[in-house]
Amino acid sequence: MCEFKYNKEVFSITDGGDQTHLNYEIQNYGKVKWLDYKFQALWVYEMSNYYPFLYGKKDNLNLKADCINTSIFQNYFLHFPGLWIEGCMWKDCEILNNDIYNEYKELFRYYDIIPTGVPKGTIKNNE
């Protein structure tokens, strides 16, 4: 029989989940090198911090899509946690449509361009 450090009666803020216990064990282990926030950006944080006006604009799907796409563009990954309105917002509007996808393709094509030109020397003040 397998024995666990935490049994199912231990209180968890994640409603029966193990996130609290796992976080405690990892942080208690020693030095941890955390990933940059951009690798796991949370939409609920992004919305409350950068787009709080969306709380009053429930029917404006284009505005929601623009804000979501902006957050996706500024982060490596955007997570929509939970079942609340904010967590399901990506389902309501068309994000990453063909226009946005083409913008991303153009941006990466731009990054691939090798800079060309002839250096003109140091820019100096005339004084």
Which phi-psi region, left, alpha or beta, contains residue 94 (left: φ > 0; alpha: ψ -120 to 50)? beta
pTM for the model: 0.58
**Shortest CA distance to 73 belongs to which of 52, 112, 103?**
103
- 3-state percent breakdown (helix, strand, coil) of the chain, nearest 5: 45, 5, 50
Q: Over the stretch 48-58, which tens digit does the pLDDT of each residue have? A: 999 999 888 76
Least confident of 18-27, 95-104, 106-115, 118-127: 95-104
